[in-house]
Chain A
Amino acid sequence: MTDLIFNVFILLTIIPCFWVALSSNIVHAAFSLLITLFGIAGLYVLLGADFIGVIQVIVYIGGILVLIIFGVMMTQRGKLLPLSIQLPGKLFGAVLTGVILAALLLSATRTLWPVAAVLGEPQLTSAAIGDLLLGKYLIPFEIASVLLLAALIGAVLIARRSVRGE
């Protein structure tokens, strides 16, 4: 049963990926990405990482992808311009993809994946993650938030400057 659901999520993750890469309509590509991200969230949940799974949906689908679609909608004017990819670009892309695929396959097969001997009931993760973030990993967590805050302020500053036309 778990294997079946796992395979469904794998297909849900991979098939829309082709559409993301091959579709000439950028909004369709973005929408396909939504299904892929959903599939990944499903895989997380299946692995017992319920917190990460839900956060995946909130951050990637509810946040980042909305911004992508928002940007596409705002910039698109008039008739949609279909994306076209030239042949040299395709060749370069194929070679690059091949190299990355080989590297990934090699590392995936050569690595020894330590698997827990007995897989019990999945533990509840959100409380443990919260404790770690505000305890053991407090300083990295705070540094990351300050960094993000700086990026946020920077983005606002750049946007304001271009509005004023300075």
Chain B
Amino acid sequence: MDWMIGFAILIVKLGVVLVGLLLLAAYLVLLERKFLGRLQIRYGPNRAGKFGLLQPLADTIKMLTKEDIVPEAADRVLFLLAPAVVAAEALLIFAVVPFGASVTLLGKKIPLVITDLNVGLLYVFALASLGVYGVALGGWASNSKYSLLGGIRGAAQMISYELSLGLSLVPIVMLARSFSLLDIVRAQAHYPFILVQPVSFMIFFISAMAETKRIPFDLPEAENELGAGYHTEYSGMRFGLFFLGEYVNLQVFGALVAVFFLGGWRGPFLPPVVWFLIKILVISILMIWVRGTLPRLRYDQLMHLGWKVLVPLALLNIVATGFVLLIIG
């Protein structure tokens, strides 16, 4: 009986998180288009429903009903698989993200996280590194030079910035003394880690933008050079899956910044889940704002920033944190 209840709770949690993520992803697209429109002194979508609020629905119907084209010369199996890898990887990361401490329902304590993994932080990196496959294989399987170039750029960029992404979080683990995301949030009971680790936060934020391949790091897509890069040949809902993956990734990194630096679900007055969503949204808006402000980096600038600025800085930050922790004891 207990086993059954636990299983039912798990299924409900999975369902709620999945629906929430997909809904939020759809409306993030609208938010991005609206906000970007404002930044560029135009309206953005405003025809479907009041303020364009039904636009995500219209987009979804359009994507689902469009023809699903597989190019003649494409490698069929990998071509069909690649978008699923991207979307699944992004969604799976949320399995370890805690949305709140725990709620008591009918005398049972339910933690607001799908599973609190002891090696949660490493699990996040393991899945993030899978994202490379969607991009690289999608680009390769399309059998088009634009796609291949986009795929290669994407793979090179993602494995470069994965390094600084990982190294920037070592001080956080040193402070929290745990890989578990729940423990990391608990360790920020008195102050959020952004106050003691601002350098780490900057490195993580920049690397996260590079990992999600957004402007100014959108070389793998670079519309004016490569068409749309690795997803040039995709249409219909398969393109939709790439798109979905990108916006779920935006939420993933919003949530990770919140967990690692902003104290997770903590905040005054409002319930924890609301605070967590607010933090995700603020980070997302910040990323959209950056997109509306900065031009795309050149390829050598991209590599220079990653390998010669962020990685050494992250290493120095680890050494400095170690020294301080040693002195404090």
Contacts and interface: CB of A to CB of B under 8 A. Distances in A.
A74 B152 contact: yes
A62 B137 contact: no
Contacts of B148: 73
A31 B152 CA distance: 16
Interface stretch (A47-55, A102-110, A140-148): A47-55
B17 interface: no
Given A51-B122, A66-B159, A61 B137 contact: no
Interface string A55-79: 1011001110010011001100000
A27 interface: yes
Interface residues of B, number: 27
Given A61-B129, A66-B155, A51 B119 contact: yes
B129 A63 contact: yes
Contact of B117 (A27, A50, A73): A50
B118 interface: yes
A27 B126 contact: no
A126 B139 CA distance: 36
Nearest to B122: A54
A62 B118 contact: no
B27 interface: no
B132 A126 contact: no
A69 B136 contact: yes
Given A54-B119, A73-B140, A62 B77 contact: no
B126 A54 contact: yes
Contacts of A51: 119, 122
B71 to A, nearest CB: 15
A28 interface: yes
Nearest to B148: A73
A73 B132 CA distance: 13
Interface string B138-165: 0110000000100110011001001000
B123 interface: yes
B153 to A, nearest CB: 11
Interface residues of A, number: 21
A27 B152 contact: no
A31 B119 CA distance: 26
A58 B136 contact: no
Contacts of B139: 73
Contacts of B118: 50, 124, 126
Contacts of B151: 73
A34 interface: yes
A34 B133 CA distance: 10
B136 A61 contact: no
Contacts of A31: 78, 133, 137
Given A28-B78, A31-B78, A66 B126 contact: no
Contacts of B137: 27, 31, 69
A98 B41 CA distance: 72
Interface in B78-95: 78
Given A31-B78, A57-B129, A62-B132, A70 B155 contact: yes
* Best-surrounded residue of A34, A58, A61 (most CB of chain B within 10 A): A58
A57 B155 contact: no
B75 interface: yes
A126 B179 contact: yes
A31 B78 CA distance: 9
B155 A61 contact: no
B323 interface: no
B125 A62 contact: yes
Interface string B258-271: 00000000000000
B130 interface: yes
B126 A28 contact: no
A73 B82 CA distance: 15
Interface of B: 75, 77-78, 117-119, 122-123, 125-126, 128-130, 132-133, 136-137, 139-140, 148, 151-152, 155-156, 159, 162, 179
24 contacts: A27-B75, A27-B78, A27-B140, A28-B75, A28-B78, A50-B117, A50-B119, A54-B119, A54-B122, A54-B123, A57-B129, A58-B122, A61-B130, A62-B125, A62-B129, A66-B129, A66-B133, A66-B155, A69-B136, A69-B140, A70-B136, A73-B152, A126-B118, A126-B119
